Amino acid sequence: MSKRITCAELVQTGFVNKVIEDAGNERDEGFSDRFLAKVMEEVDERLGSHLNGESLIKIKELIQKPYRAAMDQQGVDEVMGGLQRFLKGVPQEEFRRLASGEKKHKL
């Protein structure tokens, strides 16, 4: 997977919505301001006053709800897994090995 993906391919597949090319050369003075202006123009065009902001936020919450639930459960699972390893003495043993010089730390 080391083949580079071109900008045109990213746009064509929908990975990137749009490429803003008409802001000038990035090394020119004022490029950042021109680029920001172009981005804000695009945002205003797509998400301007013709859309209801509260509705957009609610839709986004609904879309993210299953992902957040899964991430919350993953956090609980990680903590409980760490607790079980702690109760078994795994980290304590590793620290003992480090302290005695039996194991070398990469730092």
Which residue shows structure tokens 């639930």? 69
The 3-state DSSP class for residue 65 equals: helix
d(C-alpha 9, C-alpha 15), whole Å: 9
pLDDT per residue as tens digits for the range 62-90: 999 999 999 999 999 999 999 999 999 99
Spell out the domain ranges in the chain. 1-51, 64-107
Among the residues of 5-89, which ranges form H helices?
A: 7-13, 31-47, 53-88
**DSSP 3-state helix, strand, coil percentages of the chain (rounded to 5)?**
65, 0, 35
The pTM (predicted TM-score) of the whole model is 0.46
Look up residue 5 and give its DSSP letter.
P
Counting every residue written for the chain, the total comes to 107
pLDDT per residue as tens digits for the range 21-64: 876 777 778 788 888 888 888 888 888 788 888 898 999 999 99
